[in-house]
Amino acid sequence: MKSLGIVSPQSMHFSEPLALQSGASLSDYTLVYETYGTLHADRSNAVLVCHALNASHHVAGEYVDEEGSKKILGWWDNMVGPGKPLDTDRFFVIGINNLGSCFGSTGPMHTNPATGKPYGAHFPVVTVEDWVRAQARLADALGIAQFAAVMGGSLGGMQALAWSIIYPDRLRHCVVIASTPKLSAQNIAFNDVARQAILTDPEFHGGDFYAHNAVPKNGLRVARMVGHITYLSNDDMAEKFGRELRSGKYQFDFGIDFEIESYLRYQGDKFSEYFDANTYLLITKALDYFDPAQAFGGDLTKALANTKAQFLLASFKTDWRFSPERSREIVQALVNNKRKVTYAEIDAPHGHDAFLLDDVRYLNVVRAYFERVWSEGAGA
Amino acid sequence: MNFKELSALRADLAFIAHWVRRDTHVLDLGCGDGAMLDYLQSDKRCIGYGVEIDDDKIPACTARGVSVIQQDLEAGLAMFADNAFDTVLCLSALQMMKNVEEILRDIARVGREAIVSFPNFAYWPHRLALLRGRMPVSKSLPYEWYDTPNLRCATIKDFEALANQVGLEVLECVALRDGNLVSFLPNWRGSLAVFRLKKK
């Protein structure tokens, strides 16, 4: 299938302070974003795609790296592009890098204007709602009063849901995939293990490791290894790795015996090369804090009462990180409010990661949904 | 979808659609490709949801603009609140269920009224097949005994007793053949049984 080809990011600076949920504020900030497709003159065909934990504004298309050869594909290139389920021949698609990230938008490694030094650990804790408010300012600047749809998977799905609550008039459709209305105690526990790995790494230096020319790689590795376990299903891991041994027999030491160890360590090593430890702390906190029902006494039906969008939700049966039950809670709250909602529960074997993979049942539902979005408004 | 299109597509649904009032809230259990809800939404201004388990039917419903929730009916209707719907439809789906009694009780809980249809096992060609010593295979039961998804074989008379037992009062009961009303000897000549029920 066709891809978008080579794409490149843009950035926009905002000098009006952004008040954050914590009470802190960012005096000024930059958002990095990418767009694909063409915005109609009436600006009716814009779709915002929100990213998850370790992703960025680079949703689709490819980057060519410094050597001009190796191609870096967008994280949802199988979903977004010409002729793909979210068809960039029809829709104007925007990916925005969130605040606190390490992929270009203002984050912990950038200079704090108040001190002249990198923010480091002093970058304010941001929430899903803070991200959404920042995204809305970028939408304002692009002249987009209402999105045809806001879409995301996992943490990105939380942002889409938050859009429907905070700005009910600014989106016609809300697409929430493999997400949850709030983290469970188990989810938070895994996040805290990851944070502890980073916080207790001697190279972390209280978050100011940039000044020490250090990187808390061990902490990041362990954080990623723990996270990665939660992205895969037990069956998928058993199928891919089982108890396969790296060199055919036990080594009777603490190196790598099993293939799964080799795989996780490789994932951890790779991640620690490019991801920022402060960003990891910030994003896991944003995950932990998300709970739109909290302000309504835990009543999600009430939290979603003011939404106006139509919804598509999808979950995956083997996803134990954000299981189908969690998506069904959102569907139930929407049904209680008599909102239009389509819910697909896909019997895919790949756990949480399934939302990024090619499952024809999943992609067909999203495709059919965007056909509908197109025929109902954006394409009319 | 208009009435003519629905009639051409599924005559039985077109007959049943007369029983659904305008501007009401409808739940369609085992909604398939969403044809019924498509018609009820566009022609009768109903709003509602379909429930369907089949992966292939979900995009079909979506393409029609029908709100569909993918779920196994055997798991029950916990998603829906008490009395949430004016009418609950369960059309040609009940006979495939393991837990018929449970789902009927749930239908009585979430709906004020219900319309239930299923193949009438007492349709005369079925009786004839049994007299000849073979399990019936017909247009309404188009499967061999070893590959049928239909777990339950019921007649019009059978269902009435169960409906009462689970808290549903029979308001109307008709038999259809090819979507047409059969008034003479319905339990012999009707291939599809259709009940209109009310919560007791």
pLDDT digits (tens, 9 = 90+) for A12-63: 999 999 999 999 999 999 999 999 999 999 999 999 999 999 999 999 999 9
* Residue A85 tokens, joined: 């389920």
Neighbours of B137 (CB within 10 A): 15
Contacts of B69 in chain A (CB under 8 A): 331, 335, 341-343
Query: With bands split at pLDDT 50, 70 and 90, how would you rate the model's confidence at A378?
Result: low
- In chain B, DSSP assigns E strands to 25-29, 47-52, 68-70, 85-91, 111-119, 168-177, 180-182, 192-199
Over 60: is that where the pLDDT of A380 sits?
no
Structure tokens at B15: 């007959």
**Averaged pLDDT of chain A:** 96
Residue with the larger pLDDT of the pair B182 and A296: A296
Please check whether residue A369 touches B, CB under 8 A.
yes
- ipTM attached to this prediction: 0.93
Query: Which residues of chain B are within 8 Å of residue A335 when distances are taken between CB atoms?
Result: 49, 69, 79-80, 84
> Which residue is it, tokens 């309504």?
A296
Judge contact between B63 and B50, C-beta under 8 A. Answer: no
- A297/A91 Cα distance (integer angstroms): 38
**Structure-block tokens of residue A5:** 């080809």
The b-or-e profile of B21-58 (16+ CB within 10 A means b, else e) is: eeebbbbbbbbbbbbbbbbbbeebebebbbbbbebebb
pLDDT of B75-84, one tens digit each? 999 999 999 9
Write down the pLDDT at residue B186. 86
Over 60: is that where the pLDDT of B180 sits? yes
Catalytic residue ranges of A: 154, 319, 352
Does the global pTM surpass 0.90? yes
Indicate the average pLDDT of chain B.
Answer: 93
pLDDT tens-digit series, residues A209-255: 999 999 999 999 999 999 999 999 999 999 999 999 999 999 999 99
User: What is the reported pLDDT for A50?
Assistant: 98
Distance CA B80, CA B114 (A): 15
Instruction: List residues of B whose CB lies inside 8 A of any A CB.
Output: 25, 47, 49, 55, 58-63, 65, 67-71, 79-81, 84
| DSSP assignment letter at A41 | T
Q: Which residues of chain B does A345 touch, with a Cβ-Cβ cutoff of 8 Å?
A: 70-71
How many other C-beta atoms are found inside a 10 Å radius of the C-beta of residue B160?
17
